[in-house]
Structure 1
Amino acid sequence: MNTISLITGASRGLGRNAALHIARKGGDVVITYQSRVSDALALVDELTAMGRKAVALQLDVGDTATFPAFGASLRAALTKTWGRETFDHLVNNAGHGDVAPITETTEAQFDRLVDVHFKGVFFLTQALLPLLVDGGRIINLSTGLTRISAPGWSAYAAVKGAVEVLSVYMARELGGRGITVNAVAPGAIETDFFGGAVRDTPEFNQFFAGITALGRVGVADDVGPMIASLLSTDNRWVTGQRIEVSGGQGI
């Protein structure tokens, strides 16, 4: 039986890349998108052309009130497309960046970061656990900024730090079902994240490249294959870990 991986926020960036690499390893994919429906459907077409099954569902991970309805939509999609009501892997990838000094961070900025990156991860996982198979996998995306600091990223890094602690507790509490839980922490990556800041802003790119052992910032293809690998049976004994994929950022 083929595995089914659910990846939140997969219409672009790291989520999209992870979906492609999971498909290349023979897995099927459910992707979620917040508003970029055309990008999501284009990815579904690309995955289908690779011989995989794929479905796109709308989801705002910052709106917990929608999670019961999303769970019902997911169950219906699983039944219709795969003839089953369960899936194998949950990748909590969806997110956004918001940069401001501590003295200038607004409560609205802070709340949105918490809602999307922490509260959303907690309660979406809770809502979907009845559909996740025993022996399944959960990956929560974190950031290299929980280990090194960069001005302006305090709130973002703090909520990702919370996700790393949550991942350890999830691993402990879900271990009885054989479910592994890990946090993957990318370094600076050239994607659309935060308006493509690392990719398109020379000073950001040069700063992070200068503190990275391998001498450059990352690209999506540096991270997606690692996520796909961590979901495989080759890594069934890895759980409760923070795994940084940063090219040696800040070492």
Structure 2
Amino acid sequence: MQVAIVTGASSGIGQGAAIRIAARGIGVILTYGRNEQGAVDTVAAIERAGGTAVALHLDLGDSSGFDGFRDSVADALRSTWDRDAFDHLVNNAGIAQTSLIADTTEEDFDLLMRVLLKGPYFLTQRLLPLMADGGSVVNVSSNAASATSGLEPGYATYAAMKGGLTVLTRYMAKEFSARGIRVNAVSPGATRTRLADDAFTRFPEVVPAIAAKTAFGRVGEPDDVGSLIAALVGDDGRWITAQDIEVSGGYQL
């Protein structure tokens, strides 16, 4: 059985991706930060459908813990799947916060950088020795980094880090190709997740405005993005690498 690691799978896009990946017969190691119950729920959903999953804690903003996390992954691989390697990595975990450039503190900037760019960079680096040849990496970026999606004041730092992740995706694809590892990015548009302190729940009035700017007339749901991630991880994506695919339902089309 193949095994995938999905970071930030206690809710939202990561949860949707983990469930979709497991439905393809792939074992899942999923991570959580503060939402342990959400991770338990994701594991339970996968197991109810006949899949296999393990939840591990990971603080993506603290790279000093990555070696220990790698060791935990190795232990889970051996004890649950009798394997020494995993096949796919989905760098999904993230945070979102907004502030105008004039108001952004260095602390805010550094936090977003650690979680959204430095975290995926060095987590992937640490996990590479455990990754099987011929596997895949999917980085979850954002259409906020796209020049064609329209710019919203307050997202400069977030978008800059996600843009860096998109560029990193291409370099990963180049460097990892010698091992047959595919690397792609997906860039969701506005998606109903718990990001920004569950902003969609706290500010439901923004939903109609976003839907009005979207070709399909609604905001995205986690499964809309999770299904594409699963396709890229699966054999469907075997001839796709170095791509950034927007998943926004035609935002600003």
Amino acid at match of 1:206: P
Aligned: 1:161 with 2:163: yes
Which structure 2 residues correspond to residues 1-251 of structure 1 after superposition, within 5 A?
2-147=1-146, 148=149, 149-251=151-253
Structure 2 length normalisation: TM-score? 0.96
1:58-116 CA-partner distances (Å, limit 9, x unpaired): 10011011111110111011000000111111000000101111111111111000000
| TM-score normalized with structure 1 length | 0.96
**CA-CA distance at 1:178 after TM superposition:** 0.3
Structure 2 unmatched ranges of 5 or more: none
Counterpart of 2:112, as a letter, is L
Give the Cα–Cα distance (whole angstroms) in 2 for the partners of residues 103 and 246 of structure 1: 29
Mark the CA change 1:125 to 1:233 in structure 2 (over 3 Å): closer, same or farther: same
Aligned to 1:190, what secondary structure does the other structure show?
coil
SS in 2 for 1:9: coil
C-alpha distance in 2 between matches for 1:110 and 1:88: 33
Matching residue's letter, 1:85: D
- Output the aligned Cα RMSD: 1.1
Letter in 2 for 1:162: G
CA distance in 1, matches of 2:111, 2:192: 23
Aligned-pair CA distance for 1:151: 1.4
Code of the aligned partner of 2:9? A
Distance 1:90-1:242 versus aligned 2 partners, 3 A rule: same
Indicate how the Cα distance of structure 1 residues 105 and 207 shifts in structure 2: closer, same or farther if over 3 A, else same: farther
Find the aligned partners of 2:91 and 2:205 in 1 and give their Cα distance.
29
Structure 1, residues 173-218: CA drift from partner, whole Å, max 9, x if none? 0000000000100000111111222354234323322221111111
Overall identity of the aligned pairs, in %: 47
Query: Does the aligned pair in 2 maintain the 1:189–1:199 contact within 8 Å?
Result: no
1:16-48 alpha-carbon deviations (Å, 9 max, x no partner): 111111122222100001122222122212211
Give yes or no for contact 1:188–1:198 (8 Å, CA) kept in 2. no
SS at 1:133's partner residue? strand
Separation of aligned partners in 1, 2:65 and 2:89 = 18
